[in-house]
Copies of this chain bind each other. A is one copy, B any other.
């Protein structure tokens, strides 16, 4: 699976029968921008409106839902304040999160505990979440 560029993702959506709107393109562009992104709907909304002014909050939410269902985006519910979204593991490299309890910054780590896990009586694992909370380099004085 190729690491998703915005254009690739647009193409993929199209081939699945979805229409390509300027709003949809803007959202995909934000999500697949260079740096590793873990964003709230609010943040995505703001960045999208920088290129596509007038785009509605509902539109962002509805598209994030479509993208999540099509497994292009992964929804992460770290805390109840707001859900986070990022490119799905298939599109990006598999990783986990280091979350600073002080400044809220989120780093990614390649360490994955999943392989080490022994069989759990009868349970068939499909997905997993591993998040570490602590203090980042700047905040740990």
- Number of copies of chain A assembled together: 2
B residues in contact with A118, CB < 8 Å:
111
Give the bracket for the number of chain A residues in contact with chain B: 35 or more
Cα–Cα distance between A11 and B140 once the two chains are bound (Å) = 34
| Cβ proximity bits A98-135 to B, threshold 8 Å, 1 near / 0 not | 10110000010101011011101111111111111111
> Which of A23-31, A64-72, A74-82 is found at the contact surface with chain B?
A74-82
Interface of A, secondary structure class, is: strand
B101 to A123, Cβ gap below 8 A? no
A134 to B123, Cβ gap below 8 A? yes
B residues in contact with A16, CB < 8 Å:
none
Given contacts A80-B80, A130-B130, contact A140 B124 (CB under 8 A): yes
